[in-house]
Homo-oligomer: A and B are copies of this chain.
Amino acid sequence: MKFKIEKKLPGTLARAGMIETEHGVIETPAFVVVGTKATVKSVTPEQVKELGAQVVLANTYHLYLQPGDELIHTAGGLHNFMNWAGPTITDSGGFQAFSLGAAYGQSVSKIGSAIQREETSDQIAESPLAKVDEDGVTFKSHLDGSEHRFTPERSIQIQHNIGADIIFAFDECTSPTASLEYQKQAMARTHRWAERSLAEHQKLGGGQALFGIVQGGQYQDLREESARVIGGMDFAGFGIGGSFTEDDIGTAVAWVNKILPEEKPRHLLGIGEPQDLFMGVEQGIDTFDCVIPTRMARHGQLFTNQGKINILNAQFRSDFTPPEAGCQCYTCAHYTKAYLAHLFRAKEMTAATLASIHNLYFLINLIKQIRQSVLDGSFAQLKEQFLLTYKKQ
């Protein structure tokens, strides 16, 4: 994997660049489409490509349990298995280990946190099914209750079997409600796990790029320490993990990116609302992943330049305009709000497909515009213009 910075935006941490992988180039800043179980929910790979997506992220925890990483390896790896020829990413499974409900010696649930990184956290966060120790995490499958164990070495082995272009070091993702003392311990453990992940990755060899993950919660000194320690290791790039609140996320990302080595790409894990894209790019983020566009879509929520709309609102029953006037996506080019409102009321699966295509296109088109604005220096205007009309919810 190679990373090239094309342009830096003066007075900010923003940059536009290119990540070259064996399966193609990712022009950054980029939005990474989430395909948790080796499929982007309700959308085919051709539709994902057509809407402009460059890269797909699958979840190690889910694929390890079902259908199993060995099976994906036998199938020729994730790309072959899911029919996605472009770049791919897997996370480390660490977040899921955390969201299964355990923190070291505590039982801290992730419910109530702002982060939304994977599809089943709602259902599995209800009961603490996992235990973290120095060596790794033992957890119970949300599918059948069977017991499993991830260690840094195991996570890397599984990710090598799955075979994504970019993989992540095994980390512990702490709760925003955890104490400073616990955050310190967890961060130190994440750093030791990073070393072990790197060692296992080097031992196994191959062409995958391993990214380290910076933790440290909401504390500036911890975030900066984590950025120095992880940034000093021989990773190909970095992820910024953890839970944030809407108010502190920009600050926390800036603390980290001022320290991380500039010449390596930075991924913001599980974050991807429109306003987050502007914030993240401005603070030096290159890639984002988030389930929000597809999850919202399945519930009938659509992005527009004015904010999110709920297609089930009565007013849309007879609205014969597209979800977003002027939008160039497949859905807006061919369908009206009235048709989508009908499909959602009729509980037709195509409803989720059409809404997902629109929402994914919306974010991908937005980040393309942001990229262009970094290249041509109009970032501040674009941001002001967009946030003027876009109503957060």
Binding site for B on A (CB under 8 A): 37-45, 47, 62, 66-67, 71, 74-75, 81-83, 317-318, 320, 334-336, 338-339, 341-343, 345-346, 348-350, 352-354
Which of B39, B83, B336, B345 interacts with A348 by CB under 8 Å?
B39
Q: How many copies does the complex hold?
A: 2
B338 touches A71 (CB 8 A): yes
B39 touches A336 (CB 8 A): no
B42 touches A350 (CB 8 A): yes
Looking at A45, A71, A349, the one whose CB has the most chain B CB atoms below 10 A away is: A349
Apart from A38-B342, A39-B343, A42-B350, list 18 A-B contacts with CB within 8 A: A37-B342, A37-B346, A39-B350, A42-B349, A42-B353, A45-B334, A62-B346, A67-B342, A71-B318, A74-B320, A81-B336, A81-B338, A81-B339, A82-B339, A83-B335, A349-B349, A349-B352, A349-B353
> With A82-B339, A83-B335, A342-B66 given, is the CB distance from A74 to B318 under 8 Å?
yes
B67 touches A350 (CB 8 A): no
> With A67-B317, A67-B345, A343-B39 given, is the CB distance from A75 to B350 under 8 Å?
no
B44 touches A75 (CB 8 A): no
B348 touches A66 (CB 8 A): no
**Distance in angstroms between the alpha carbons of A38 and B346 in the assembled complex:** 10
A353 touches B320 (CB 8 A): no
Shortest distance between the CB of A275 and any CB in chain B (Å): 29
Contacts of A335 in B (CB 8 A): 83
Contacts of A349 in B (CB 8 A): 41-42, 349, 352-353
